[in-house]
Amino acid sequence: MREGFTVWFTGLTAAGKTTVARLVAKELLERGWRVELLDGDEVRRNLSDGLGFSKEDRDRNVLRIGYVCKLLSRNGVVAIGAAISPFRDTRQRLRADIGNFVEVYVSCPLTVCQERDYKGIYKGLEQGRISGVSGVDDPYEEPENPEVVIRTDLETPQECAAKVLTALEELGYLAPRELADSGYSEEERLILEKRLSELGYI
């Protein structure tokens, strides 16, 4: 069984986390991986109903997603988490707990996120109907050393997804596309690479 891993997308509301995560998941499925995408909003509705937006409740929701990712990853699945996850210390806890963890910072200026505002979050804040919006009246702590940074205000979703996939290849989580298409399993690929290395070809 191939070893699984977790790809964690973090960024502001409307930055494009779920959009890019879905494209990455689609490509991984096409490469023969088992994949599960855990979206922060969906998990809130189904696993964390009743939680508020205090730091403690935000952390609890993120840690619940991370726990599921850990279980999936250790069973050969690529777990993709897409949640604001605004606090560095909580993301670091996930990294330490999960192990095979790739952090993707979905960078997008607040003004662009506010223009998109797919869910009406920023509008609700302006109208005084809601509060505690990460990056506005609540903290959002940018990652300091993410494996991948994508700029959804400058790059298309497809370009962002390709950047993530390239990073996963470079980090050794994925076989390069040409090898992935060769018909070899991951185990066979590693044996082949080892043999070619012993012969001095690579």
User: What would the pLDDT profile of 1-17 be if each residue is shown by its tens digit?
Assistant: 678 999 999 999 999 99
Cα 81 to its chain centre, rounded Å, is 5
Judgement on whether residues 47 and 146 belong to the same structural domain of the protein: yes
Judgement on whether residues 98 and 164 belong to the same structural domain of the protein: yes
Judgement on whether residues 160 and 198 belong to the same structural domain of the protein: no
CATH of residue 106: 3.40.50.300
Cα separation, 8 vs 98, in Å, equals: 11
Q: Give how many domains the chain has, as a whole number.
A: 2
- Overall residue count recorded for the chain in this entry: 202
Q: Name the helix (H) or strand (E) containing 196.
A: helix 186-198
Residue 51 confidence (pLDDT) above 80: no
* DSSP state letter for 36: E
Judgement on whether residues 106 and 181 belong to the same structural domain of the protein: no
pLDDT tens-place string over residues 98-153? 999 999 999 999 999 999 998 999 999 989 898 888 989 889 999 999 999 999 99
Q: What is the pLDDT at residue 105?
A: 98
Report yes or no: 177 and 161 within 8 Å, Cβ to Cβ. Answer: no
Strands 34-39, 5-10: pairing is unpaired
**Exposure string (b/e) for 131-145, b if CB count within 10 Å is 16 or more?**
eebbbbebebeebee
Judgement on whether residues 165 and 189 belong to the same structural domain of the protein: no
Residue 52 confidence (pLDDT) above 90: no
Judgement on whether residues 113 and 15 belong to the same structural domain of the protein: yes
User: Looking at residues 66-80, what average pLDDT do you find?
Assistant: 96
pLDDT tens-place string over residues 81-109? 999 999 999 999 999 999 999 999 999 99
Report yes or no: 17 and 11 within 8 Å, Cβ to Cβ. Answer: yes
Catalytic residue positions, numbered: 85
Judgement on whether residues 134 and 184 belong to the same structural domain of the protein: no
Judgement on whether residues 164 and 202 belong to the same structural domain of the protein: no
Judgement on whether residues 39 and 65 belong to the same structural domain of the protein: yes
Judgement on whether residues 186 and 113 belong to the same structural domain of the protein: no
Cα separation, 4 vs 168, in Å, equals: 12
Range of the domain at 191: 177-202
Question: pLDDT band at 48, cuts 50/70/90?
Answer: low
The answer to whether the predicted template modeling score (pTM) of the entire model surpasses 0.85 is: no
